[in-house]
Amino acid sequence: MRQRVISNNVANGDTPHFKRSEVLFEELLEQSMGNQQLSGKRTDQRHIAIGSASSTLPVPKLITDETTSMNNNENNVDIDREMSLLAKNQLSYNFYVQQINHEVRMMRTAIEGRA
């Protein structure tokens, strides 16, 4: 979602009156980390319920910055900032994928018993 929003900001960098948007995922993550109760979503009645299953998944907030403008056409996209945010987002994504892959490999090693 963040990648799409930043890409949209970059694509509209020259569009008059366009206002940049931003995804606030970190607040959602902090709220989820504070809630230590484990819950699962049942997609089939045969699944075992885990905790208090929620039927809806939380969605990160999408905010639009209506208050600033970068130039005379009231567009507020700073292309350099957006490109650095895009690179940061890609690096974070790659890091998290590597971490998850490592955790899965560790679980497989524990289950299969091979070194």
Q: What is the mean pLDDT of residues 13-20?
A: 93
Split into its structural domains, the chain has a count of 1
C-alpha to C-alpha distances, 51 to 36, 38, 39, nearest whole angstrom: 11, 6, 4
What angle, 0 to 180 degrees and rounded to 10, lies between the N-to-C axes of helices 2-11 and 79-112? Answer: 160
Lowest-pLDDT range of 22-26, 34-38, 85-89: 34-38
pLDDT in tens, 40-95: 777 888 877 776 655 566 788 899 999 888 888 899 999 999 999 999 999 999 99
User: CA-CA distance, 94 to 82, in Å (whole number)?
Assistant: 18
pLDDT in tens, 87-106: 999 999 999 999 999 999 99
User: In the structure, what pLDDT confidence band is assigned to residue 11 with cuts at 50, 70 and 90?
Assistant: very high
Tell me which residue range forms the domain holding 11: 2-112
* Better-scored residue on pLDDT, 14 or 29: 14
Neighbours of 77 (CB within 10 A): 22
What's the angle, vertex CA 31, arms to CA 25 and CA 32, rounded to 5?
90
